[in-house]
Structure 1
Amino acid sequence: MAVRIRLTRLGRKKKPFYRIVVADAECKRDGKFLDVIGTYDPLTDPVAIKLDNTKLQDWLGRGALPTTTVKSILKKAPVAE
């Protein structure tokens, strides 16, 4: 089972809000996921990124791979490495 760290969309039309989740690579975008590790709100200024760093490091240690979008968000996050 390939596990990915990716975004799932919430919010309403034209007002996106995202959860950063760990999910099986074959599941749908807004489908079943294994764990929620943070949130991402692109509409605030500055962009609001909240992460649970212990969960993030745990899933990265288990071999979960972030998508390219999540990888760029993690670079912008204040403490995530």
Structure 2
Amino acid sequence: MAVAIRLRQEGSKGRLFYRVVAADQRFKRDGRFIEILGTYDPQKKGENTNIDIEKVNSWISKGAQPSETVRSLIKRQVKAQASN
């Protein structure tokens, strides 16, 4: 089973937000997932991500591959935590 760390679209039309999830690559974008790792709200200003870095690192150590978007969100989250 190849696991991907990717965004899962949620919310209503015009007010979308995303959950960062670990899911089997074969599942649909908004389908089944294994675990919720965080959230991302693109409409919110300022700090709009909330990702559990420990869970993400755990999944990456098990072989999960983050998508390009999630990889950039993780980098931003780590940088924000380091500056605090």
TM-score (norm 1): 0.91
Percent identical residues: 44
Q: Any idea what SS the aligned residue of 2:50 has?
A: strand
Question: Is 1:53–2:53 an aligned residue pair?
Answer: yes
Q: Where is the helix percentage greater, Structure 1 or Structure 2? A: 2
Q: Structure 1: state its 5+ residue gaps.
A: none
Q: Name the structure 2 match of 1:35.
A: 35
Q: Name the structure 1 match of 2:81.
A: 79
Question: Is 1:18–2:11 an aligned residue pair?
Answer: no
Contact 2:53 2:74 (C-alpha < 8 Å) held by counterparts: no
TM-score (norm 2): 0.88
Q: How many residues align?
A: 80
**What is the CA–CA distance in structure 1 between the aligned matches of 2:28 and 2:81, rounded to whole Å?**
29
Q: In angstroms, what is the RMSD of aligned CA positions?
A: 1.4
Task: Please list every run of at least 4 consecutive aligned residues from structure 1 whose deviation after the TM superposition is greater than 6 angstroms.
Answer: none
